[in-house]
Amino acid sequence: MGNKECKELKKREESMLKNGSLLLEKLISNFNGKYSNPIRIFSAKELQKAAGNYSGNLVFNHDELCNSKWYNGFLEGQVISVRRYFGVLYTEYVINEFCLVAQISAQKSVLKLLGCCLGTEIPILVYEFPANRNLNLLLSWKNRLKIGYEIASVMAYLHTAFPRPIIHRDINPYHFFLDQDCVAKLSSFLFSISLPEGKTMVKDKDFGSLGYLAPELLSSGLYSERTDVF
């Protein structure tokens, strides 16, 4: 093994150790050590191959706010989505997304998480592939009403299904995908938070997309179920 390969291997091992420790800590914090859902861990090489060496031709969504690109990939006979992060983004946010989505992936209007790769500086997340991409499609009024209902349902699920309601903090059309049946799938939980038990709101930094933020956030910095609904 050459010097370059040794350095790359060492870097992957360091990333795996750092990211794995953060993931374990977050899982224990979120699920009180009782989390039992299986977690598929992918290697950096198999995801790179699945996404065609991260070819620009396979990018189907570029989320500039979250510094990420979504790639159409193919792995083990299955079409997948590979979400790769760039630039200045704290690993903690990606770990946060992984842990939250792993908890709620069974909900039909949440884009299903398949696994992750911890052997890169910033973890890479792997999701099911949304056949109809995002909400930019021209849709019939019947489908629009159905999608509106699905969006409302998934938000109600986040806010009521757990002892600590989940606040998404960046609800906007660009974070919903559509599957082959035009079912709306919510994604992008990087900045999502769980309210402390017994609390109805929490103060935090401003996160979200301009034009979709509740007006009171700019002055109070308080997040609640209502700021998601806005």
Question: Is 179 designated active site?
Answer: no
Distance CA 191, CA 102 (A): 15
Distance CA(184)–CA(155), nearest Å, equals 12
CA dist., res. 162 & res. 142, Å (int): 31
Which of 170, 179, 181, 206 is the catalytic position? 170
Contacts of 71 (CB under 8 A, 6+ apart): 51, 52, 54, 55, 58, 59, 60, 81, 82, 83, 84
Provide the annotated active-site residues. Answer: 170
